[in-house]
Amino acid sequence: TSPDMTYQKEDGVLVGGVREDTPAQHCGLQKGDLITALDGKPVRTLEDYATLLFAHKPGDEVLITIRRGEQVLELTARLAGKIGEN
């Protein structure tokens, strides 16, 4: 995903874009979703998000809690390696 770097609130990370054929796209994450937790741990800032995400390795499943409009959804993604990695 690409975070929306202009989003200044500390209530989550706003998804600015989702690359095609990635775990984020496959689990249903969409541009405009607000990521509020990973594996039940709160995500308030981009730093929170990065810390929690990078604690995982490729192949791990991650529970992503998002707010999409008025809905709160939980999505599960299986992490892949870096783009271009085999």
Query: Which residues of the chain fall below pLDDT 70?
Result: 82-86
Q: Report phi then psi at 4, rounded to 5.
A: -80, 100
Q: What angle do CA 66, 81, 10 make, to 5 degrees?
A: 30
Instruction: State the pLDDT at residue 71.
Output: 97
Q: What is the pLDDT of residue 85?
A: 43
Phi, psi at 24, each rounded to 5°? -60, -45
40, 48 Cβ separation under 8 angstroms: no
| Residues in Cβ contact with 62 at an 8 Å cutoff, skipping those fewer than 6 apart | 38, 39, 53, 56, 76, 77, 78, 79
